[in-house]
Structure 1
Amino acid sequence: MKKFAKSLISAAVLTAAVASVSAPVQAADKLLLKTPIAFGSHLPALGTPIVWVADQLKIISGGNVRMKIYEPGKLVSPKEILDAVSSGKVNSGYATAGYWQGKIPAASLFSAVPFGPEAGEYMAWLYYGNGMTLYQEMYDSSGYNVKVMPCAIISPETSGWFAKPIEKPEDLKGLNMRFFGLGASVMEKLGVGTVQLPGGEIFGALEKGAIDASEFSQPAIDQRLGFHKIVKYNYFPGWHQQATIFELLINKDAWADMSKSQQALIETTCKASITNSIAEGEAMQFPVMEKAKENGVHIRYWNETMLNTFQTTWNEVAAEKSAADPFFKKVWDDLSTFRKGYDLWEANAFLPRATK
């Protein structure tokens, strides 16, 4: 992605940082993180980052810090991960905060936000703005006994697979569509009926006609799930998810029992995973898109009318959700203020697309 590529953390710096905490961990008590995950570990950029984290924890700690991964539904269903970690049923879990928006309205702001921020800006707000303070406050104030840390991020998703071209807002009315997070609220205001299905159920729902269209993730992931076999019009850009954050949740009591070295090892490995996951996701999309025509796929870019409609509708949704929930407003106002400041840097520092 154009901006985040300029701000990737140096691999050498990460290696040194991880190495600096590894020696003390080897002398500490052994730790096993039992970690149910929300996305199959076979899915690139969605499930693979946490596998990478588990591998690195074992290597860096000399086997004293281990993570045992449980595939979706094997120990805990994806939608139950937050409650399971909070209650201590498991001591950790890997998901995305947008899964909890039904319980915590602001949660989706820490997952993916329509019309940005992109990955670099998102990370800047989280790590060097007020983002992480608000992220933890959200869980604390909602009564969840969890420690949260970002542990992966991916760049833009596609914004939908459709059976026919969508040229004007009226073409959306009456469609039933799988859609995620805050973008679903936008689509609903435009007359779309939305459901949030897990990735493994989308193909079957399309095949049976239970849904007419779907968004899920990036081209390399969607291709593995076979959407192109049923619906042939794939739309870009991913206005609803310009970047998506994935979180590692750890039970707070379990976190408090860890040594400082163990805590630092986990946090640093998750930061390294941010780099690894964005690089993995960025590297694998264009080969899949190049082969899309062979599968009969029509890659479309939303026309100006549609993009303006999506953005205007999102502004309405953000205002409504801010009015309905004080903490959503608190986070949204803080993120918006940060982004207004960031605009000065962005407008002057980066080349416009047309000159690249």
Structure 2
Amino acid sequence: MQRRFMLAAGATAPLALAAPLAAPAIAQTLPELRWRLTSSFPRSLDITYSTSEYMCRMVGEMTDGRFRITPFAAGEIAPALQAMDAVQSGGVEMAHTGGLFFTGKNSALAFSTTVPFMLNVRQQHAWFFHGGGNEMLNAVYKDFNIHALPCGNTGNQMGGWFRKEIRSAEDLKGLKFRVAGLAGNVMQKVGVVPQQIAPGDIYPALERGTIDGVEYIGPYDDAKLGFNKVARNYYYPGWGEGGAIFHAFVNLQRWQELPPAYRAAIETASTAATTWMLAQYDWKNVDALYRLVAEGVQLRAFPNEVIDTLYRATGEVFAEASAANPQFKALLDSQAAFRDRHYAYHQVSDYAFDSMMIRLRRQQGR
């Protein structure tokens, strides 16, 4: 019996050694795809640009290299502010950008990034992923042949750089100021001349005096772009952007053609990239702000009178946009209801904890 077993084993062993390892059935059925992604950000902005690299790399790793997306920086395939057009037309399969750059196409797109005096980062993520935000926004993006997925968040942004000190709302009048999205409409209401300029082109405009100030993201990126070399007054809070979500745009037809496993890979990678970007900014903004202040930058809070004026102007912009655009009104109503209900919770959780910690640190002289 033992001899027969050994002979049988010996007879089959060479066949077993010769047989190749079978690939999983799912891997054999999935196609090999090569896509391109155009970013709205230059390579010099390492967090925003490398977020797209991170997302693309994860998709490749999750699909064993069968689905590869190659990212390109702003201008390498399409100009920064034409990323949406490139995806809509099918010139590229994907883009990494912010919806607020394209509010001229539809004011409702502002909600896919941020609108003034609305949601903080925690609230944004809750609304997008569990409050129906993604579904509502993709109903808007469908009109542009795009499917959009959150892919990055900058966190709360700063109020911006000004050549001169802002003591009152009157000081804003006549300023040429780089600002994106709906915040530009609000600033226009109070006399500012808003300028939408691609990230890589902001510093030359500030240096030449084409603009008097700029709002971009926060200390880390702002220092990399050199704004502090020209404008020394750095204001907070970022009333226009409590948090700013970027998106991965996918050509809708190409998205619908993807195997479900590849769609899941993009969704998973984009969600991971959202956390990755936020953590990067929370880590790097701290040291950057300390360095800027040490170098003589004047860190200033907007006077309450300025904030109140901007808040009233925001209400006017919201009312006008809602009257002109039902999609804008639906998104505003959804976000505002979500914000108002959730702030009651955050007042007794995050805000209470932060206030407690600030008080205790002050008592200890920190």
* TM-score greater than 0.5 by the shorter chain: yes
Instruction: Tell me how far apart the structure 1 counterparts of residues 129 and 96 of structure 2 sit (CA, whole Å).
Output: 19
Aligned residue for 1:57, secondary structure, equals: helix
For 2:70, what is the secondary structure of its paired residue?
strand
2:262 maps to 262
Q: Is the 8 A contact 1:149 1:247 kept in 2?
A: yes
Q: Provide the rounded CA distance (Å) in 2 between the counterparts of 1:39 and 1:64.
A: 26
What is the aligned partner in structure 2 of residue 234 from structure 1? 234
CA distance in 1, matches of 2:131, 2:345: 15
Bigger radius of gyration among the two: 2
Deviation at 1:27, TM superposition (A): 5.3
Letter of the aligned partner of 2:268 in structure 1? T
Residue in 1 that maps onto 2:275: 275
Residue 78 of structure 2 is aligned to residue 46 of structure 1 = no
**Which one is further off, 40-49 or 246-255?**
40-49
1:146 aligns with 2:146: yes
Q: 1:290 to 1:25 in 2, by over 3 A?
A: farther
C-alpha change, 1:48 and 1:23, in structure 2 (3 Å) is farther
Shift of 1:26: 7.4
Q: Does the 8 Å CA contact 2:78/2:86 hold for their aligned counterparts?
A: yes
Structure 1 equivalent of residue 360 of structure 2:
none
Asked if the contact 1:24–1:261 (Cα under 8 Å) also holds between the matched residues in 2, the reply is: no
How far apart, in 1, do the equivalents of 2:116 and 2:263 lie?
32
Aligned position for 2:293: 293
When normalised by structure 2's length, the TM-score is: 0.87
Gaps of 5+ in 2: 1-23, 358-366
Question: How many Å apart are 1:349 and its aligned residue?
Answer: 2.4
Contact 2:172–2:190, Cα closer than 8 Å, also in 1 = yes
Residue aligning to 1:121: 123
User: Helix, strand or coil: the match of 2:217?
Assistant: coil
Structure 2 residue 248 is the aligned partner of structure 1 residue 248: yes
Distance 1:62 1:159, change over 3 A: same
What is the identity, as a one-letter code, of the residue corresponding to 2:329?
K
Secondary structure, aligned partner of 1:194: strand
Structure 1 spans left out of the alignment, 5+ residues = 1-21
Distance 1:171-1:264 versus aligned 2 partners, 3 A rule: same
Q: Which runs of 4+ in 1 moved over 6 A?
A: none
CA distance in 1, matches of 2:157, 2:349: 25
Provide the C-alpha distance between the structure 2 equivalents of 1:351 and 1:114, rounded to a whole number of angstroms: 19
Cα 1:24–1:157 shift into 2, 3 Å: farther
Aligned sequence identity (%):
29
Q: CA deviation at 1:335?
A: 1.2
1:355 alignment partner AA: M
Partners of 2:41 and 2:200 within 8 A in 1: no
Question: What is the total number of aligned residue pairs between the two structures?
Answer: 333
8 Å Cα contact 1:178/1:197 also seen in 2: yes
CA, structure 1 residues 71+340, in 2 after alignment: closer, same or farther (shift >3 Å)?
same
Match of 1:77 in 2: 79
Normalised TM-score (structure 1): 0.89
Alpha-carbon offset, residue 95 of structure 1 = 0.8
3-state SS of 2:318 partner: helix
Change (3 A) 1:303 1:263: same
2:284 is matched with 284
Give the secondary structure class of the aligned counterpart of 2:48. coil
Q: Aligned partners of 2:44 and 2:28: how far apart in 1?
A: 30
Instruction: Sort the Cα spacing of 1:343 and 1:351 in 2 relative to 1 into closer, same or farther, 3 A.
Output: closer
What CA distance in whole angstroms lies between the structure 1 residues aligned with 2:304 and 2:27? 54
Distance 1:268 1:23, change over 3 A: farther
Contact 1:42–1:48 (8 Å) recurs in 2: no
